[in-house]
Structure 1
């Protein structure tokens, strides 16, 4: 019996254009994303380097104007459909499940969301969850097993009583290997609001 639900954020609640940042970086002359760039990005997602250090690295290696870089970085972020917000508010109000958010994200993206949504809406969304885990605040990122173990241990959850909803297969595979039930949601074909109509639980 499922008692706990852990939700991803991007392409579960907020829509993403996962190619947008690459396209915008290409317009700025960066067509090759090196292994070092990816490593720095992962460090930033884990909160192991600051926003200034992250931006400075890309500025120095790519010679891109910092404001252009930040705009390109945030291009991935799209809209937040109202029906998804209504869904999570109603699910939270029902008190039927313990709800958690677990997202690979970073300070620049969260700052954009807070500004774009407005802090009142952001906090209303955040308050739908018992815990709101952002990778850059807890120093872990998916799909590393330790991030799932952290959430399970911190909240005294039982894996088999927990559902994890994420759009990336690499993330759900690891969660499932730990005994967590998963829904690998396909953006554009499925929607989180279908959680009960699709009989995921």
Structure 2
């Protein structure tokens, strides 16, 4: 029986254009994404470097205007369909499940979301969850096993009573290896509002 639901953020609640940042960076002269750049990104996403250090890295490497870099970095972020918020609020108000958010999110992205949505909407969303885990605040990132173990252990969750929803198969596969039920939610095909129709909730 499912008692706990762990949600991803991007392409589960907020829509993303995952190619947009690469396209915008290319226009700014970043023609190749190196392993070093990816490691910098991972470190930033885990909160192991500050926003200032992250921006400075790209400025030093490519002489990109800092404001242009921030715009390019946030180009991935799109709209938040409010029918998903309505679903989430109804789910939270039912009190049938413990709800958690677990997202690979960096400081620039979450700051953009807070400004774009406004404080009231952001708080309304965040308050639906018992815990709101952002990778840059807890120093872990998906799909590493330790991020799932951290959430399970901190909240005394049993994997067999928990389902994790994420749009990236690497992330759901890693959670599944720990015995957590998963739904690899595919953007454009699936919508999180269909969650309770899944077999895990109907048996």
Q: TM-score range by the shorter chain?
A: over 0.9
CA contact (8 A) 2:160 2:181 kept: yes
Which secondary structure state, in structure 1, belongs to the residue aligned with residue 197 of structure 2?
A: coil
Partners of 1:196 and 1:162 lie apart in 2 by 13
Deviation at 1:137, TM superposition (A): 0.2
- TM-score normalised by length of structure 2: 0.98
Superposed CA offset, 1:145-188 (max 9, x none)? 00000000000000000000001000011100000000011110
Distance across 2 between alignment mates of 1:36 and 1:136: 19
Note the C-alpha offset of 1:199.
3.8
**Paired residues for 1:51-200 under 5 Å:** 51-200=51-200
Please give the secondary structure, in 1, of the residue aligned with 2:179. Answer: coil
TM-score, normalised to structure 1, is: 0.99
The Cα of 1:120 is off from its aligned counterpart by: 1.1
What is the rounded CA distance, in whole Å, between the counterparts of 1:16 and 1:62 in structure 2? Answer: 25
Which residue number in structure 1 is paired with residue 22 of structure 2?
Answer: 22
Cα deviation for residue 200 of structure 1 reads 4.7
Q: How many residues align?
A: 201
| Separation in 2, partners of 1:89, 1:31 | 42
- Once residues 115 and 53 of structure 1 are traced to their aligned partners in structure 2, the CA distance between those partners, rounded to angstroms, is 22
Deviation of residue 191 (structure 1)?
0.3
SS of the aligned residue for 1:157 comes to coil
Question: Contact 2:2–2:200 at 8 Å: present in 1 too?
Answer: no
CA contact (8 A) 1:183 1:200 kept: no
- 1:7 matches 2:30: no
In 2, the alpha carbon distance for the partners of 1:41 and 1:28 equals: 17
Q: Report if the CA contact (8 A) 1:164-1:182 is conserved.
A: yes
Q: Distance in 1 between matches of 2:151 and 2:77?
A: 25
Structure 2 alignment gaps of length 5 or more:
none
Query: 27-36 vs 41-50, which deviates more?
Result: 27-36
Secondary structure at the aligned position of 1:183 is classed as strand
Q: State the 1:197 CA deviation.
A: 2.8
Q: CA RMSD in A?
A: 0.7
